[in-house]
Amino acid sequence: MVAETLKTGIGMNMAPWNFGSMYINDPQKAATSLGAGTYINYTDQNGNTTLYQVQDGKFIKAGCTNSSGCELTNTSGGTFQVVNVKMM
């Protein structure tokens, strides 16, 4: 599992209180692994959830047109779920 996390930049929580939730270990690798156009709901360690889309190998806040503050860079303590855009 550790080797897969290092390769993809994505890990799975094993803690009993958060078992099975996905986390981003390396944003650049995770964006590449998920692929361009993928949407995720990212929940930070404070419980705030934001929608991001993979663009140019980065997670960019959905609808953000300002170049500063749009990229997801600090993923410490957060989890995410891939969003099915057909359900939106």
pLDDT tens digits for range 1-54: 688 989 999 999 998 888 889 999 999 999 999 999 999 999 999 999 999 999
**What letter does residue 50 receive in the DSSP assignment?**
E
Q: Indicate left, alpha or beta for 45 from its phi (over 0: left) and psi (-120 to 50: alpha).
A: alpha
d(CA 19, CA 56): 31
Residue 71 gets which letter from DSSP?
B
Using CA atoms, how far residue 35 sits from 3, 11, 39, in Å, is 20, 16, 9
User: What predicted TM-score, i.e. pTM, was given to this entire model?
Assistant: 0.86
